[in-house]
Amino acid sequence: MCSSLSLRGQQYVRVEMERGEGGYALMRRYGLDKSPCSFAEFYKINNLKYGEALSFGKKYFLPIKVYKYNNSSIRSTLKNFDLVKALEVERYNKWIQTQKLKSTYFLQDRLLWVPYYVYNCEYEQGAISIVAEKPTLPAVKEEPKIEAKPKNIVSIPLFGTKYEDVEILNDNLKGRVFYIKCGHGGPDPGAMVKIDDNVYCEDEYAYDIALRLGRLLISHGAIVHFIVYDPDDGIRDDDYLPCDKDELHAGKRAIPVNQILRLRERVAIINSFYYKYKKRGIKDQRFISIHIDSRSKGLELDTHFYYSEGSKVGYDMAVNTQAVFEKNYAEAGNKKYTGTIKSRDLYVVKYSHPAALFVEVGNIQNEHDQKRFIKSENRQALAQWLFEGVIQ
């Protein structure tokens, strides 16, 4: 059972200890174990010494403030306009309802629970991020550190067993940041096609290309953030990549079902990191979003690119990458490359602060285009060509 009591001008949630619980178990039950500073605040507001034993059956305040929601937005309610933090508050309120810790969602009862850690502690909230260089600038706090193995090898389990050891070939991209996002993921598989008895999903193939591109960038010393990630897929060499829904983003957060929320959250994650790096003097930050289009079955589509109108760096990325594709097609001599470049008012491209390149690999419905992403060697080639284009 929960209650709340006014404390120092704000209301704190107060709950009863369950049998067998200690302080850590109580905090974990309410999802408050993200940071040591949450525990310090817990003991402080209960007038206890840090680590002091708690009593079964007694009620304790939790470091969760209760605000009266203003029926407008979380940010205006809290008078704090950090979008990423507001999204974390929203995520937390959804979570406590799914865990039956609070019976009514805040949009109905107007009681918004705001965990202390969101605005006062350092906690894991960013995208899966990888620093393969030995930076002279301090690393972003949310990033997991990767310890280098001997002989310039870093181990990155996200890439899967076969590809997790990455050799750092040089530091040519040192101090440059790349945000890589595959399209869709989680509850949204994106475009789909049935071939024989298997269903092929856009997000699985776009993700594999994204990982391969990120691995190449890391091998040359870049800092890479994967905005969408799958905790167990890794880079795969199979033709058929089964569809699943376990992709996540932003510190192991579930991907929202609502498309608008999904896009807003991804942009917020990118922009949050962008400002952190900008404050540290890093100017070269780029965002690549990888998709597979779905058109009529008979339409062949070469890989084509979109950028945000008015973005010179975005336009240059598109032109340079198109030139790489054109060159490789010419060398192969199979067919003329017809991939286009256009400006387009896409949400993630328009509102992300780093220069952005939106890539459409091909038409998932077209039998010819399918070969471009179904074969693992072709996915690797796509990643290599994208790499050569976006680093220029």
What are the residue ranges of helices labelled H in the chain?
Answer: 23-29, 36-45, 74-78, 83-98, 106-109, 116-120, 202-219, 259-279, 312-332, 347-351, 367-374, 376-390
Residue 206 to residues 159, 237, 288, 367, Cα–Cα distance (Å) = 14, 14, 11, 17
The pLDDT value recorded for residue 249 is 80
Q: Is the pLDDT of residue 334 over 80?
A: no
Q: Which domains does the chain have, with CATH numbers?
A: 2-120 (no CATH), 128-390 (3.40.630.40)
Q: Is the pLDDT of residue 135 over 90?
A: no
What does the buried/exposed string (b/e) look like for 116-137 if buried means 16 or more CB atoms within 10 Å of the residue's CB?
A: bbbeebebebbbbbbbbbeeee
Average confidence (pLDDT) over 128-153: 45
d(CA 96, CA 135): 39
Contacts of 236 (CB under 8 A, 6+ apart): 160, 208, 376
CA-angle at 351, arms to 345 and 355, nearest 5°:
90
* Between residues 384 and 52, the one the model is more confident about: 384
- Main-chain phi, psi angles of 195, to 5 degrees: -125, 120
The pLDDT value recorded for residue 122 is 67
Nearest one of 324, 288, 285 to 306, comparing CA atoms:
288
- Main-chain phi, psi angles of 98, to 5 degrees: -65, -30
Residue 365 to residues 47, 297, 299, Cα–Cα distance (Å) = 64, 5, 8
The pLDDT value recorded for residue 132 is 44
Nearest one of 379, 104, 351, 113 to 237, comparing CA atoms:
379
pLDDT level of residue 371 (50, 70, 90 thresholds): very high
Dihedral angle computed from the Cα positions of residues 65, 66, 72 and 73, in that order, rounded to the nearest 10 degrees? 30
The pLDDT value recorded for residue 251 is 61
Q: Does the model's pTM come out above 0.85?
A: no
Beta-strand pair 285-293/177-182:
parallel
CB of 212 within 8 A of CB of 164? Answer: no
The pLDDT value recorded for residue 57 is 83
Strands of the sheet containing 304-307, edge to edge, are 128-131, 223-226, 177-182, 285-293, 355-363, 304-307, 341-343
**pLDDT tens for residues 13-35?**
999 888 777 888 888 889 888 77
Average confidence (pLDDT) over 331-349: 91
Q: Is the pLDDT of residue 369 over 70?
A: yes
Average confidence (pLDDT) over 54-79: 90
What does the buried/exposed string (b/e) look like for 43-71 if buried means 16 or more CB atoms within 10 Å of the residue's CB?
A: bebbeeeeeeebeeeeebbbbbbbbebee
pLDDT level of residue 137 (50, 70, 90 thresholds): very low
Q: Is the pLDDT of residue 151 over 80?
A: no
Task: Provide the token pair at 53.
Answer: 């034993």
The pLDDT value recorded for residue 211 is 97
pLDDT level of residue 5 (50, 70, 90 thresholds): very low
The pLDDT value recorded for residue 20 is 74
CB of 177 within 8 A of CB of 271? Answer: no
The pLDDT value recorded for residue 40 is 87
- Main-chain phi, psi angles of 116, to 5 degrees: -60, -40
The pLDDT value recorded for residue 190 is 93
**pLDDT tens for residues 89-127?**
988 898 898 888 998 889 889 999 999 988 887 654 444
Give the number of residues written for the chain.
392
d(CA 124, CA 114): 17
The pLDDT value recorded for residue 130 is 54
Average confidence (pLDDT) over 178-185: 94
**pLDDT tens for residues 245-282?**
999 986 678 899 888 889 999 999 999 999 999 999 99
Q: Is the pLDDT of residue 141 over 50?
A: no
Residue percentage of the chain with pLDDT more than 90: 62
Looking up tokens 């403030």 gives 65
What's the chain's Rg over C-alpha atoms? 23
Beta-strand pair 111-115/153-155:
unpaired
The pLDDT value recorded for residue 125 is 47
Q: Is the pLDDT of residue 185 over 70?
A: yes
Looking up tokens 């990455």 gives 166
Average confidence (pLDDT) over 328-346: 91
Q: What DSSP letter does each residue of 120-155 carry, written as one string?
A: HS----S-EEEE-S--SSPPPTTSPP-PEETTTEEE
Q: Is the pLDDT of residue 149 over 60?
A: no
Mean pLDDT of the chain: 87
